[in-house]
Structure 1
Amino acid sequence: MKKLLLSLSLLFTLVFSYAQFPGQSSGTSLRTKGIARIAGTVLDSEGGSGVEFATISLFLTDKNELIDGTITDDKGKFSLNDLIDGNYYIEISYLGFEKKVLENIVIEKERNVDLEAVALSQGANVLDEVTVTSDRSLIEEKVDRMVYNAEKDNLAKGGDAADVLRKVPLLQVDLEGNVSIRGSSNIRVLINNKPSTIVAASIADALKMLPADMIKSVEVITSPSAKYDAEGSGGIINIITKKNDLEGYYLNLNTGVGLRGSNLGLNGSYRRGRFGLTLGGFGRAFYNKAETDITQATTLNDMVNLTKQFSDASDNGIFGRYNLGFDYDLDKTQFLSGGIRYGVRRFSRDQLQTTEIYRNDELFSTNLRDINSLRYSGTIDLNLDYLKSFKPQQELSISTLYSRTNENSNFVSDNLDANQSFLNSLKNLDDNLNEEITLQADFITPFGDNQIFEVGAKGILRMVNSDYSYLFAETPNSFTQDFNRPAGTLDYSQNVAAAYTSYTYSTPSKYTFKAGLRWERTAIEATQDNENIQIPDYSNLVPSINASKKLGGLTTLKLGYNRRIQRPWLRQLNPNVNIQNSQNIEVGNPNLRPELTDNIELALSTMVKKTYLNISVFGRLTDNAINQIRFPIDSIPGAILSTYENIGREQAIGMNLFANINISDKWSVNGGVDIDYARLNGQVTGLDGTSITAENSGFNYGGRLMSQLKLDGGWSMQAFTFMRGRRVELQGNRGGFGMYALGVNKDFKNDRGSYGIALENFASRGWNVRSELDAVAFSQVSNMYLLNRSVKINFTYKFGQMDFRNTRKTRSVRNDDLMGDGGGDMQGGGMQGGNESAAPARNNRAARRNNQAAKPATSGTSTPMPEGKALDFSGTWKGVAQGPMGEMEQTFVFSIDGEQLTGTIETRMGKQDIKNGKVEGGQFSFEVTFRNFNISYNGVVLEENKLMLKNERMEMTLDRVQ
């Protein structure tokens, strides 16, 4: 432990030393360091008060190059430091005010320049009210991840995160909420870039606690960089929840009532000046019925035992999640944020189970049991994060997280006679504690315009405790200790020290390379029943390489390789012998070792007219693979024991295909197919210590299809179907299942809310999931009938008023590389999406890349338009404009009919139709009205996949995306 703490201290010292290397301190330009400064004050021309958060952009006049920037403080003051001699000009902008340009600012002999106060005048047309909406693509693809924008999914209203993830490409989610990527269930799930102990204990349970209505997007990261934790051999899923960067207050109410579940959520936000506060709560109750039947045969000592079992169950659950968060701007370069989140889960099942055991074809015994099981937990996450921004895209962050989950998994089983009279009772108490403390430091800096360097260190202290026992009663509720069944404890600590470095390089020929190396040291101390378990410490070097090539404006080719570690989960370690089902007994294995996986993938994404297409092939090789194994128990006739072992090797090769078709501006269809061939082989050790070789192989497959249609009057419709085929396991296969849904939604005219109805599996009673296991000494066939026909009615409404404010930067404990992003945003023309907290850095890169194309026009001047090419530019176009609040991504959809131009423009201020559009040869013009604010645009066709567009405030280039 002392060695691990010493390693951690050295790693964090390394990160801080990198953050303070010469020439990169606060306010230092990325150019040659000088000692001069330019200072000034920005005032409101009407009131004379300082304008806070005004954008200050510094340009070199001779090269017309943006070299520095800052924002004003609460008194309107700003300072640009460490400048060399030269001729500069400054642009000052702020939303609702006319832009100011200060020219001929000369620094000579490194003398400071103090500018006179600059007064900004309000624009002729100021937005009296702004409604911020978003209508992004449902699916966006980046260099190392697929982004599913869940906020567009109306069918998920009132559901939970599992309902959303079933629709995400590359993912498969079973009926219990267990998730896999490309057939691998060894994955890492993050919520807003943060791990949580409830996720570590059970991904399925964690997804039930997260409401679908609060999910903004889901990122499937198939080729993680070195900045990620090495854990998760199959990949990483990052769930981004909805956030708010506006000023004012709002309160959002959403509720739903259905045959299988009901929900109630209330979320609020308050922001004023430098301070922001969020508060939210969500509760969901569900109720369902299930039927299962199992037929299994075991052979021991030439004795054949046949078990036939049937259960009729009623399920009830309550899940809740509550959060309180804050963020505060210490000054214009330092930001503090924190929060507390509490999750609660209570799941109960009441089932009547009949078991018949036949020995050599003769009835041996009949057993009737009334089983009441209860699983409940409480999870608390606390985080405090600090971010220091030295320059655009040069940042140091320090993040902390404390996470704790108390989990109890208990059951009471009453044995009954044929008349259902009480015989005796058995109770199992299983109390678990999972606790984590995390400290993380990251530093990122650019070199020039096409290189990024990242370095970081992280320490994780984990503790898992389990305390379990059995009680027995011969009369109802008179329980005493059952000495025939062992009680026990497990104390398991896992401490991880990690460091990484990552380098990204983008070439002018649109190649992007990102290479990284991560080192992790894992120290384990474990005791079971106060006896030490000898698990050796281990170190791992985890490399990662991502490369991409932009083939024209519409096609991108990607190649990625990474190595991943999968450490055992709490459920796999827990030594409690669970005999809730006396014929299918489960127990964990505290001696499990981690598995190591090598992944490689090749992907191609392109646009074919109005169709976005992504196809990828992948290979995966896992050594020391952790698998669930089963074998018969000699002392219990017909019973099977399930546990976990490091079996040996697992191999898979497969393909994913996804397409999104925009049939029209209002109708889209998307779907995908996932298929892989898996081969598993290794050694299975039985209770008697003998080891046998097991092997299995076969195809895994799944698919999904969704259609969305927007109607007049705020109405919309959505249809969805999902199918997951069988999953190959070491000793058989687990059955597949499917589902389908249809929803109708109506938005209120003021965009403050909506109501709708959703139908699930409305034409069938339910689904049968059939699984088959087969090994040397046993076989099992099970059928689970899930009765999940459902109708739900949803309602949501927003109270309050929000106004624009400057986007605030935050950083938190995470296992992502959203700042680096594999170079996807350095290429230009790439599809955007993902985490809001990383948006400032991404946009800074976009501004540097598009400096010439997206530079605001100087006030009072106008650059002449070129002649242009007379080409049909119908389709979808994207560009990034430098606005008063920083960079703004804009999407244009154009349609040409002769000399008439129609279409839409979408920005963060909303989506509007264009009007008075005209096309003349290679030039065009149109107007857009945002409330009372009229904007006139002029454009020119530069080439087939590039347009130039300008108005009286700015000019930019657009790239074709469809």
Structure 2
Amino acid sequence: MKKLLSLILIIFTTSEIALAQFGGPPNGGGGGDGNGRNRSTQQNTPSFEINTPKGNSKISGFIIDSTATSAVEFANISLISKTTNKPVDGTMADDKGKFLLTKVAVGDYKLQISFIGFESKIINDIKVEKGKDIDLGILKLSPISQMLDGVTVTAEKAMIEEKVDRLVYNAEKDMLAKGGDASDILKKVPMLSVDLDGNVSLRGTTNIKVLINNKPSTIVASSIADALKMIPADLIKTVEVITSPSAKYDAEGSAGIINIITKKSSIEGLTLNLDSGVGLRASNLGLNGSYRHGKLGITLGGFGRLFYNKAGTTLEQSTVKDGVTQLTQQSSDAKDNGLFGRYNLGFDYEISKTQSISSSIAFGTRNLDRNQEYVTKLFSNNNLTSTSYRDVDSKDLSNSVDINVDYIKTFKPQQEWSISTQFSQNNLTNNFDANILNGASELLSRQKNINGNTNREITVQTDYQTPIKQNQMFEVGLKSITRQVDSDYQYLYAGSTGGFSTDARNPSGLLNYKQTISSGYVSYTYSTKNKYTFKVGTRYEYTTIDAVTNVNSINIPSYGNLVPSINISKSLGTATLKLAYNNRIQRPGLQQLNPNFNASNAQNITIGNPSLKPEVTNNVELSLSKNINRTYLNVSLFGRQTNNSIVRISAPSDTLAGAIVTTFQNIGRQQTLGANIFGNTFITPKWSLNGGIDIYYNYLDGQVANATGGFSTISNTGLTIGGRITSQLQLNNGWGVQAFGGYRGNQVQLQGSQNGMGMYSLGVKKDINNKRGSIGLAAENFFGGMTMTSTLNTAQFNQKSVNNIYNQNIKLTFSYKIGNMKFVEQKKSKSVKNDDVKGGESNN
């Protein structure tokens, strides 16, 4: 493995030497501003200064799609002298269609606007007078149309786009999105994998950070899988995958950051959107409204999803202790009923042309009720010793609130200062009631686990950025996060009748966990005339932790981390080559810390570890992207090493015969070397095909307890191959068809592996009333649902569990929009982003 990592570093170095032979104008790709908002090169990676006469006038405007009344992102603008008929200046529109040319000299000009898929537009007779600015207002581009066998087709926006520092999946182009949740969208995003429970991995690791509209949420800190269930798929605009975050981002996420951008209002007037769906396994209803007039904008929305499903599991495990082999054979049937919702209220106000303030409050709720009936047989040295029946009703409930207030001051183009604040709280309940029965369904005894958790965060940050000349950018910022986690749990026991009392075998407990993170960063961007862009920075984070249980205080020393980042890109005509290195931190999440002894299944128990420390990862990446006619292709190689890795460790129980107990420890080291290949092509302007292949090799090692009471070093390796493919066809009269298929290969774990699984869907949609509404029908996993098998093999035990999800689904969707709309500029805003906590893993 070490030789392979050394080889990729040699490849990176050789590629950079080769790049030194290229020259030309500055990189014209879009960038990011650290808050997840893509900006043009002129804003985030400034181009070199054009050697032409300068003045003090400005030319500005907005570029929109004439058919969709939406912004044309990153269109190219050239200012041409009418005297010489040659370009004298240029820029690129941002992700809202806005452009700005500064320091324009007196003279007569024409403006040319161009973008792939649209007809070029020329604005003639632009006369610039001394000291006077020109606002061209809204400029409309017409999509390119051509005749194919008598049918008029129009170029569509690509499903997948690559910006300078991120990959963007345009989920709003996904016709099958309606009626699902965010996990359904993420299954289709290149480099991402989603398992049956909604747990997300990026390039083979779950050590990632998920943001929602550039902001964290305490429910994400508790469980990424649960948070994704709260977000309706049809309200997602884009999903951004950031594999090499700059110093401006928190140092969390070994593999990177996933930023989910929801659809926002870019209209003036009053609108109301209705989205609904009815299916065999889930139904949804959403209602969102917005009002915007003058300097004030208000949004109000809500979405609810009702989930009902069946599942079946089998478990077979054997343990060896004191020369006796204990064998467990278990089967269960489960019924899941869930209600997920998210509701938000927000406003923004333009104080002046250079100042604005925005605020929002969002509520989330997740109620999952699972009834599971277990049949467990225990064998001792191949002799059946007992058969037990256990009926468990578990409740996984949470409610969250996020309150943001943000202020931004703009001094001049690209020079701005902002203050962002956030209060976030998540109340989480993980309870279960268990009835122990005999074969005749006679009640023998009862058990309860009551577990309440609170996760509270208060964040304050300030950021400042300023350009240096025309080709450099300097950014600096400070941030403070105060996080308080409280967990209170108890086990109660009762006979078949009578009241409950404390279970002496599982005493009650609590955890009070306070974490304070103080951080600062500097970042510098430099663009050269020969198409190189360098973005370097460093971030320092100092963390203090006070942790107390009902038994004792936990001594976790304070620690500081210096996390550098380097991003280099080189434009090669229609191709772009990138090299990146960064250092990342992954702090433990609530479910890894919570010491509650979760024994809803008495033979497969989990318990958190409040003494966990963060893990640190070094990442290096080399990628090449190229546009070939209607095809976009990206190939990337990456290497990653994680030390002090947080690993799930399982061992036989000391008290329960045949039971396995799983916890989390900082004992692992993980090395990964992999490649991603993905592309997007338009077979015709209305028929697109995109997909990709993920290949990576994992090596893991760590120390675990052995049968003699000591420790042994174990390791595991494996190759994982996965991929996905999507095809979408736009037909006449508003009809559209989409098909999707994906496969996630075997996942290597320290003590075993998890097998691969496939997913697929097919849908059709019809737009109605001039695209104000739509009706759709979709089918998912219609050949028997999905199955996932996990296998653990050690010297002390063997375990094989099979999880069957009967999630074949057919859904009917309906959406409609009413209101008087017109395009206006969206107000610039910044917001808090807490990117430092490792997401929990679903226990369902």
Q: Distance in 2 between matches of 1:143 and 1:122?
A: 28
Verify: 1:803 aligned to 2:822, yes or no.
yes
Distance 1:436 1:810 in 2: 21
SS of the counterpart of 2:579? strand
1:60, CA displacement in angstroms? Answer: 13
Which position in structure 2 is the counterpart of 1:575?
Answer: 595
State whether structure 2 residue 738 is matched by structure 1 residue 718. yes
Instruction: Please name the residue that 2:694 is paired with.
Output: 674
Distance 1:595 1:683 in 2: 16
Deviation at 1:814, TM superposition (A): 2.6
Shift in alpha-carbon separation, 1:583–1:609, aligned structure 2, 3 A: same
- Pairwise CA distance, 1:530: 5.8
Q: Distance in 1 between matches of 2:525 and 2:105?
A: 32
Aligned to 1:384: 405
Q: Give the Cα–Cα distance (whole angstroms) in 2 for the partners of residues 135 and 217 of structure 1.
A: 15
Corresponding position of 1:645:
665
Task: Give the SS at the match of 1:557.
Answer: strand
Partner amino acid, structure 2, of 1:568: P
| Deviation readout 1:75-110 (Å, 9 max, x if unpaired) | xxxxx99x9xx97579999xxxx999665537xxxx
Q: Contact 2:80/2:110 (CA < 8 Å) preserved in 1?
A: no
CA deviation map 1:149-198 (0-9, x unaligned): 00001112110000000000000000100000000101100001111100
The Cα of 1:421 is off from its aligned counterpart by: 1.1
Partners of 2:247 and 2:82 in 1: CA distance: 40
Give the 3-state SS of the residue equivalent to 1:144 in structure 2. coil
Cα deviation per residue 1:366-414 (whole Å; 9 max; x = unaligned)? 1100110001000000000011111111111111111100000000010
Residues 302 and 661 of structure 1: CA distance in aligned 2, closer, same or farther (over 3 Å)? same
Secondary structure at the aligned position of 2:234 is classed as: helix
Rounded to whole Å, the distance in 1 between the matches of 2:530 and 2:139 is 44
Q: Could you tell me which residue of structure 2 aligns to residue 296 of structure 1?
A: 317
Note the residue ranges of structure 2 that are not aligned, 5 or more in a row: 1-48, 59-77, 92-100, 112-122, 143-153, 836-844
Aligned length: 731
SS class of match (2:733): helix
The equivalent residue for 1:373 is 394
How far off its partner does 1:328 sit?
Answer: 0.3
Cα pair distance change 1:395/1:92, threshold 3 Å:
farther
Q: Which amino acid aligns with 1:683?
A: Q
State the partner residue of 2:719.
699
Give TM-score scaled by structure 1 length.
Answer: 0.72
Structure 1 residue 193 and structure 2 residue 217: aligned?
A: no
Matching residue of 1:760: 780
Contact 1:311 1:353 in 2 (8 A): yes
Asked whether the equivalents of residues 253 and 796 of structure 1 are also in contact (C-alpha less than 8 Å), the reply is: yes
What is aligned with 1:590?
A: 610
SS in 2 for 1:663: strand
Deviations 1:300-322 (A, max 9, x none): 11110000000011111000000
The structure-2 alpha-carbon separation of the partners of 1:224 and 1:38, relative to structure 1 and needing over 3 Å to count, comes to closer
For residues 322 and 530 of structure 1, what CA distance do their matches in structure 2 show?
40
5 Å matches for 1:457-496? 457-475=478-496, 478-496=499-517
Q: TM-score, normalised by structure 2?
A: 0.82
The 5 A counterparts of 1:550-629 are 550-552=571-573, 554-629=574-649
Q: 2:756 aligns with which of 723, 728, 736?
A: 736
Q: What is the DSSP-based 3-state SS (H/G/I as helix, E as strand, rest coil) of the residue aligned with 1:444?
A: strand
- Is the CA contact 2:56–2:130 (under 8 Å) kept in the aligned structure 1? no
Give, in whole Å, the separation in 2 of the partners of 1:119 and 1:714.
39
Q: Is the 8 A contact 1:715 1:746 kept in 2?
A: yes
Secondary structure, counterpart of 1:164 in structure 2:
helix
Structure 1 counterpart of 2:800: 781
Counterpart residue number, 1:843: none
Structure 1 counterpart of 2:130, from 105, 109, 112: 105
The RMSD of aligned alpha carbons is: 3.1
- Take 1:436 and 1:530, find their aligned partners in 2: how far apart are those partners? 25
| Aligned-residue offset at 1:340 | 0.2
Q: Do the aligned partners of residues 121 and 807 (structure 1) sit closer, same or farther apart at CA in structure 2, a change above 3 Å counting?
A: closer
Give how far 1:474 is off: 1.3
Show CA shifts across 1:658-702 (max 9, x none). 021211111111111111110110112479963221211111221
* CA-CA distance at 1:356 after TM superposition: 0.3
Is the 8 Å Cα contact of residues 769 and 784 (structure 1) preserved in structure 2? yes
Q: Distance in 2 between matches of 1:380 and 1:89?
A: 55
The answer to whether the Cα contact below 8 Å between 2:436 and 2:445 also exists between their aligned partners in 1 is: yes
% identical equivalent positions: 53
**Closer/same/farther in 2, CA of residues 185 and 151 from structure 1, 3 Å limit:** same
Q: In the TM superposition, what is the alpha-carbon distance from 1:599 to its structure 2 partner?
A: 0.5
1:505 alignment counterpart:
526
> Using the alignment, how far apart are the partners of 1:542 and 1:781 within structure 2?
40
Alignment pair present for 1:138 and 2:159: yes
- In the aligned structure 2, how far is the partner of 1:640 from the partner of 1:503? 51
* Counterpart residue type for residue 788 of structure 2: V
- Asked if structure 1 preserves the Cα contact closer than 8 Å seen for 2:81 and 2:109, the reply is no
1:828-847 equivalence runs, <5 A: none
Cα separation, 2, equivalents of 1:530 and 1:730: 31
Task: Please give the alpha-carbon distance, in whole angstroms, between the structure 2 residues aligned to 1:376 and 1:91.
Answer: 63
Quote the Cα distance in structure 2 between the aligned partners of 1:436 and 1:102. 54
- In 2, Cα distance between equivalents of 1:296 and 1:635: 16
SS in 1 for 2:369: strand
1:762-790 CA distances to partner (integer Å, 9 max, x unpaired)? 2x122221111101100011111111111
Task: Report the CA distance shift for 1:324/1:595 in structure 2 as closer, same or farther (over 3 A).
Answer: same
Cα separation, 2, equivalents of 1:689 and 1:582: 24
SS in 2 for 1:204: helix
Q: Given that residues 647 and 668 in structure 2 are in contact (C-alpha distance below 8 angstroms), is that contact kept between their aligned partners in structure 1?
A: no
Relative contact order, higher structure (CA 8 A, sep 6+): 2
Contact 1:59 1:89 in 2 (8 A): no
Q: SS where residue 163 of structure 1 aligns?
A: helix
Q: CA deviation at 1:611?
A: 2.1
- Map 1:81-160 to 2 at 5 A: 88=106, 103-105=128-130, 135-160=156-181
Instruction: Tell me if structure 2 keeps the 8 A contact 1:135–1:152.
Output: no
Q: Hey, what's the Cα distance between the residues in 2 that align with 1:806 and 1:305? A: 68
Shift of 1:476: 5.0
> Where does the alignment leave 5 or more consecutive residues of structure 1 unmatched?
1-29, 40-56, 69-79, 107-114, 128-132, 817-962
Instruction: Give, in angstroms, the shift of residue 473 of structure 1.
Output: 1.7
Partner of 1:656: 676
- 1:473–1:699 distance in 2 versus 1, CA, 3 Å: same
SS in 1 for 2:820: strand
CA change 1:477–1:287 in 2 (3 A) is: farther
Task: Tell me if structure 1 keeps the 8 A contact 2:128–2:134.
Answer: no
Separation in structure 2 between the aligned mates of residue 349 and residue 372 of structure 1, nearest angstrom: 6
- Helix, strand or coil at the partner of 1:330: strand
Aligned partners of 2:659 and 2:136: how far apart in 1? 82
- Structure 1 residue corresponding to 2:833, chosen from 811, 814, 830: 814
Match of 1:515 in 2: 536
Partners of 1:596 and 1:811 lie apart in 2 by 28
Query: For the Cα contact (< 8 Å) 1:343–1:379, is it kept in 2?
Result: yes
User: 1:734 Cα deviation (Å)?
Assistant: 1.3
Letter in 1 for 2:194: V
* Aligned counterpart in structure 1 of residue 288 of structure 2, from 267, 270, 273: 267
Q: Does 1:636 align with 2:656?
A: yes
Cα pair distance change 1:689/1:500, threshold 3 Å: farther
Q: Closer, same or farther in 2 for the Cα pair 1:463/1:58, shift >3 Å?
A: farther
1:251 aligns to what? 272
Measured after TM superposition, the shift of residue 349 of structure 1 is 0.7
Query: Counterpart in 2 of 1:25?
Result: none
Do structure 1's residue 340 and structure 2's residue 361 form an aligned pair?
Answer: yes
Cα distance in 2 between the residues matched to 1:688 and 1:284: 51
| 1:807 positional shift | 3.0
Tell me the secondary structure at the aligned position of residue 318 of structure 1.
Answer: strand
Distance 1:538 1:697 in 2: 31
Report the secondary structure of 2:821's partner residue.
strand
Deviation at 1:483, TM superposition (A): 3.0
